[in-house]
Amino acid sequence: MECIEDILICPKTRNRISFDFASSEVRVEKTDISYPIKDGVIDFLPGVDDSISKAYDSRASFYSDYVTSSNIFTKLLNLVFWGVTSQYEFAQEILPFISEDFDRILLDVPVGTGILTLEKYRKLPGARIIAVDYSLGMLMRAKQIYAKNGKKNVTPVRGDVRNLPINDAKVDLCLSMNGFHAFPEKDIALREIRRVLKSKGQFVGCFYIRGKKKFTDFYVQNRLAKGGSFTAPFYDEAETLAKFGEYFNIKSKTNLKSYFHFDMEKK
């Protein structure tokens, strides 16, 4: 399998990178550009502190408890807003699309805190997992969870899905859970995911779609979008199929409450 220096690139110049562990930096070849490594997280977005990163940084400390419904309060929130007892229900719709013997390069964007994928990744010891998120706070939590559970094949990277720090056609499978509804400039994000996937590369994931549950639509528009964690436009199912169909062949699709789940292939 290729080394990480062959997969990651500088998002500004597209040049190859190299690690300088002595100074905790990633250096960009043929330039004077460098990026910090913060507690094991490669930060390709140093200094970025916008509304989206702030929204998810502020949720990082309790996000795992929320999505897993670890107490009666978070269970009630998920039931009211999403119609499920735990967001593991969403995860279990799509994680089976990833083969149990997958041993190639997997891009997880956005990784969040990694709590929903931990059990799956335990079963993929031969995979090289590039865990990308826009939020440094989420990545720090993910790193802690993976380290605590002995996952050494995960590389946490802070990056922007609109300009992924990944070389062309290097990824065998892209997993995107709870991401598309948060991405700004959604067309650019889809083109970037398609760019980094290999020929016939697999794209699986889930996200919120409009028009399935009126209360959820109201909550998204009036709370989550205004708070910065979700970013308009939000698509209904027909619009989603049309948009994704521009870049990917749709192999499988399901719907659970207000969430759309998919398994696609790069065109």
Domain-located, residue 121: yes
- With respect to residue 180, please indicate whether it lies within any of the assigned structural domains: yes
Question: Do 159 and 11 form a contact (C-beta atoms < 8 A)?
Answer: yes
Do the domain assignments include residue 21? no
Question: What is the enclosing helix (H) or strand (E) of 187?
Answer: helix 186-196
Please tell me the predicted confidence (pLDDT) of residue 36: 97
How far apart CA 27 and CA 29 sit, in angstroms, is 6
Token output for 219:
């909550």
DSSP letters, 48-114, are ---HHHHHHHHHTTTHHHHHHT-SHHHHHHHHHHHSSS-THHHHHHHGGGS-TT--SEEEESS-TTS
What was the pLDDT predicted at 227? 94
Q: Which of 150, 179, 195, 199 is nearest to 260 (CA)?
A: 179
What are 140's strand-pairing partners? none
Pairing of strands 171-177, 197-208: parallel
Q: Which pair of tokens denotes residue 34?
A: 């460098």
Q: Is the separation of the CB atoms in 133 and 112 below 8 Å?
A: yes
CATH of the domain at 185: 3.40.50.150
Q: Which two tokens stand for residue 249?
A: 């062949």
Q: What is the pLDDT of residue 2?
A: 80
13 within 8 A of 28, measured Cβ to Cβ: yes
Give the ranges where 107-185 is alpha helix by DSSP (H). 118-122, 136-148
Determine the residue type at 192.
Answer: E
The closest alpha carbon to 127, from 142, 146, 113, belongs to 146
Residue 176: inside a domain: yes
Neighbouring C-alpha atoms within 13 Å toward the C-beta of 68: 13
Peptide bond into 233 cis (omega under 30): yes
Tens digit of each residue's pLDDT, the chain (267 residues)? 789 999 999 999 999 999 998 889 999 999 999 999 999 999 999 999 999 999 999 999 999 999 999 999 999 999 999 999 999 999 999 999 999 999 999 999 999 999 999 999 999 999 999 999 999 999 999 999 999 999 999 999 999 999 999 999 999 999 999 999 999 999 999 999 999 999 999 999 999 999 999 999 999 999 999 999 999 999 999 999 999 999 999 999 999 999 999 999 999
Q: Pairing mode, if any, of strands 41-43 and 105-108?
A: unpaired
Instruction: For residue 135, give its domain range.
Output: 48-266
Rounded to whole angstroms, the Cα distance separating 155 from 44 reads 13
Whether residue 191 is contained in a domain is answered as yes
Cα(31)–Cα(15) distance, integer angstroms: 9
What radius of gyration, in Å, describes the C-alpha atoms of the chain? 18
What's the number of domains the chain is made of?
Answer: 1
pTM of the model: 0.97
Quick one: tokens of 190? 């889809």
Residue 42 in any domain: the answer is no
Closest by CA to 99, choosing from 131, 124, 116, is: 124
What pLDDT, on a 0 to 100 scale, did the predictor assign at position 101?
Answer: 95
